Amino acid sequence: MISVPFMKFAFEFEQFFPQGDEDLEFFQEFTKDFESDDNFMIIAVENHPTVFDTAFVQKIQEITKEARRLPHVTSVQSLASIKFPVKTPFGINNIPALHANDQEALQRDKEKILNDERFVYNLIDEKGKAMAVFMKTTDQLSIEHSYELIDALKALLTKYDVQDAHVLGRAYFQAELAGMQKREVVVSTVFGALLVGFILILLFRRPIPVMIAFGSIGLGLVLFFGLLVLLGRELNAIAAFYPVLMLIVGTSDVVHIMTKYLDELKKGKTNEDAISITIKQIGLATLLTSVTTAVGFLSLLTSRLIPIQDFGINSAMGVVLAFVCVILFTCSLLSLIPKEKLLKENSKGHIWDKYLLRINNFTITGRKKIIWSTFIFLILSAIGISRISTNYTVESNLPKNSKITNDFKYFERDFAGFRPLEFAVTLNNGHKVDEYEVVKSVSLIEQEIRKYPQIKAVTSLTDIYKSINQMFNRNDPKAYTFPKDEKTYNQYQKFVDKIPNQMTASLISKGGDKTRISTRIKDLGADEVKSIGLKIDSYVKENFDPDLISVRRTGTGLIFDKNAVYIRENLMHGLGLGLLIISIFMGLLFRNFRMLFISLVPNILPLIFAAALIGFVGIKLEAVISIVFALIFGIAVDDSIHFLSKYKQAFNEHQDKDKALEITFKETGKAICFTTIILFFGFLIMLFSIHPPSVTIGTLIAVTLISALVADLYILPVLIRKFL
C-alpha cells in the first residue's frame, strides 16, 4: 500500500499519564496556575581543567545570548548571564556573577560560585569543570516542535565548535526516542522477516510452500501498517512489537493451515478434498484462536495509559487481519498448486511422531510426577511473585549504549538530574503569598526538603527574599538566607514589588493564593521517590497549621509513578475480563463445562510463570512490562484451542479417549511445537533492540511460551484423562 511509508511516530510524555487519576487532574490545574515542570532543556559544556577561564566564559556568554532566539525557547540562563544586585550608597547596582574579561577577578568569583546553593548542581558542577545553559521552553512541546528545537540547537553548538555538549530535557527526549522507535520498527521487521523465512525453509523444504507462506505473511504485515496509516493511528514507544507480532502470528496461522493441508495430501487426498478438510477442521480453530488472541490484546483497554490501549487495539486488528490473509490468500493458492510441488519426497514426519508419542505415553505412566511437579511449580511461583517490585527508574527505559542515556547518567551524576518533584502550596482562609508567616512556612519546608541529598535544584518564593537579604549585606554569600524577623521581611517587601512580573509568575499564582516549591530528584526508583515524598508529607502535616497552608506533592514524575499503582489493578481487571470472554467462546465451541475448565488451567500457569520470573529475576514491574501478560495469554491460548479442537474431532470419530489423544499428539502436537518454536525465536528478535523494556518483554514472552507448550503437552492430557 502506498500509505505505508507515511507512518507517523509519536512520543510525548503526556501519553504516559494515567487517564482519570485525581493526581493527574490536580497537576493539570497546577500547570494552569504556573507552568509545566518539564518545560526545560539543559546543555552542559565541559572545559578542562576548569570553566573559570575567560575565553570559555565568553563562549558560554555568546551561546546564552543566541539561545534566546532558538525556536520555542522562552528564556535562557547561565552563570555567564547572571548578575547580582548590590546595594550601594548611590543605589542598587548589578555586578556579573562571572567577570568574563578579567581572569584574576574570575578566580575570585570561583570560590563564591562553588559555595552558592543556587548554582551548584544547577548551572555548574561541584568541581567547576562543566557549566550549564538552562533554557525554558513552551509548555507541552509536540514532537514536531522538539525536532525544530533540537535541529536549531545542534546548529548553534556547531557554530561555536562545541563538540562534547551533554543535553537533557523534554525536547531532547522526545526527538531521540521517536528516532529510536523508527529504528526499532525497521530492525524488528528485517530480522523478523529473515527469521520467518529461515524457519519456513526448515519446515517445508520446498520453494513453492515457502513462497506461499512468506507471501501471505508479508501481505498481512503490509496491509496492517497501511491500515494504521489510513486510520491515522500513530506508532508509539512499543511499536517495535507490531512487525514481530504480525510476522509470528501470521506464521503461526500459516503453519497450522499448511501442516494440516500437507498431512491430508500425504494421506492421498486430492487438493480440493484436502483444502476442504483443512478449512473445516483447522480453519474454525484458527478463527477461534485469532478471536481469543484479539480478546487478549483488547484486555489492555482496561489500562489507564493511552499507548497501552492503542497497542491493544492495533494488535487485535493485526491478528484478525493476519487470519483473513491466511484464509483468503494462502488457502486459495494452496488449492491451485499441484501436490508434487508442495510435498517433499518420502516426507512422512516419523521423527516428530516418535517424540510426541513418547510424551503422550509419559502423560499416562508419569501422571503423578506431572501433578507433583505442577504443585512444586506453584509453590516456587508464589515465592517469585512475592518478590515483584515496582521500583522502576527512568534510566531503565532509555536505549542502551546511546548518547541520550550517557547524557542522562551524566546529569544524574554531576548535576541535579531530570526527574521533577513539585510541591504545590495552597493558602487557606484568605491568606496571601506575601504574608510573613506564609513565606516563612515555605522556607521551613524548603529547609526540610534540602535535608535529603537526593533532592537538588530547589527553587521557591524564598529565593527572592534570600537574594534581597544578600544584596543588603554587600553580596556576601553567607547572607543568602531568609530574613531573620518579620520587621526585616517587611522592609524587603517593597523591593519584591519592583521585581518584574515575568520573574514571579512561575512562583506565584495570579490570584496570589498559591505558590510552589520546585525541585529535581535523583532517579532513585518509583518506590524510593515515593518513600521520600511520604516522609516530607508527614513533616508538613505535623508542623504546619492546615488553616494557613496545604502542601501537596505533584509533577510529571509523580504522575508517571502513579502508573505503578494501577498496574496490578489493570492486570487483574483486564485478564479477568479476557478470561470471561474467552470462557464464553470456549463454552460455545465445546459445549462442555469440564472442557472449559480444562482449557483455562494450562493457560493460567504460563501467566503465573511469567509473574514468578519477573520476581526472581528482579525485573521492575512497570506500565510497558504489563503488556507481557496480555501477549502471553492471547497467544498461549491458541495452542490449547487447537489441541482441544483436534481432540474433540478425534474423539467424536473414534469414541476412544486414548486413541483420540494419540491422533491429537501426532497431528496437532506437531503444529503447536512448530508454532512455539517460531514464537520463541520470533520474540527473541527483541534481543536486537536497544530499548531495555522491549528486550525484557521479548525475552519474558519467549521463555514463558515454552512453559505454555509444556503445559499443553503434559498437563492438558492429564486433565483430559481425569475429568473428561
> Tell me, what's the pLDDT at 3?
46
Q: Tell me where in the chain the CATH 1.20.1640.10 domain(s) lie.
A: 175-386+560-723
Phi/psi-derived region of residue 91, left when phi > 0, alpha when psi is between -120 and 50, beta in every other case: left
All 3 cell numbers of residue 59? 563562549
Predicted TM-score (pTM) of the model is: 0.82
- Where would I find the H helices in 618-691? 627-654, 657-664, 670-684
Identify which of 715, 689, 723, 720 has the alpha carbon closest to the alpha carbon of residue 243: 689
Name residue 131's beta-bridge partners. 45, 124
- Asked whether the beta carbons of 426 and 529 are under 8 A apart, the reply is no
All 3 cell numbers of residue 343? 510435498
Fold of 175-386+560-723: Multidrug efflux transporter AcrB transmembrane fold (1.20.1640)
SS3 of 135-150: EEECCCCCHHHHHHHH
Q: How far apart are CA 544 and CA 525, in angstroms?
A: 29
Q: How far apart are CA 558 and CA 622, in angstroms?
A: 14
CA of residue 462 relative to chain centroid, distance: 37
CA of residue 362 relative to chain centroid, distance: 43
Identify which of 701, 411, 421, 715 has the alpha carbon closest to the alpha carbon of residue 561: 421
State yes or no: cis peptide before 477, omega within 30 of 0: no
- Where would I find the H helices in 131-270? 143-159, 170-204, 207-230, 241-266
> Tell me, what's the pLDDT at 1?
42
Inter-axis angle of helices 627-654 and 670-684, nearest 10: 170
Long-range contacts of 270-274 (CB under 8 A, 24+ apart): 271/334, 271/335, 271/336, 271/337, 271/338, 271/339, 272/335, 274/339
Q: How far apart are CA 427 and CA 364, in angstroms?
A: 74
> Tell me, what's the pLDDT at 561?
82
All 3 cell numbers of residue 232? 491515522
Matching residue, cell 548590590: 86
All 3 cell numbers of residue 425? 502550596
Q: How far apart are CA 279 and CA 283, in angstroms?
A: 4
Count of other CB atoms within 10 angstroms of residue 677: 17
All 3 cell numbers of residue 382? 508464589
Mean pLDDT of successive 10-residue stretches along the chain, which has 724 residues: 53 71 87 86 93 93 94 93 75 80 90 88 93 92 89 94 90 84 81 80 77 83 85 74 82 81 82 85 81 81 81 89 86 79 59 83 91 93 88 85 92 91 93 91 94 92 88 83 90 76 74 91 90 94 93 89 71 66 68 75 85 88 77 78 84 88 86 83 84 86 89 91 82
Name residue 425's beta-bridge partners. 515, 551
Rg (CA), the chain: 32
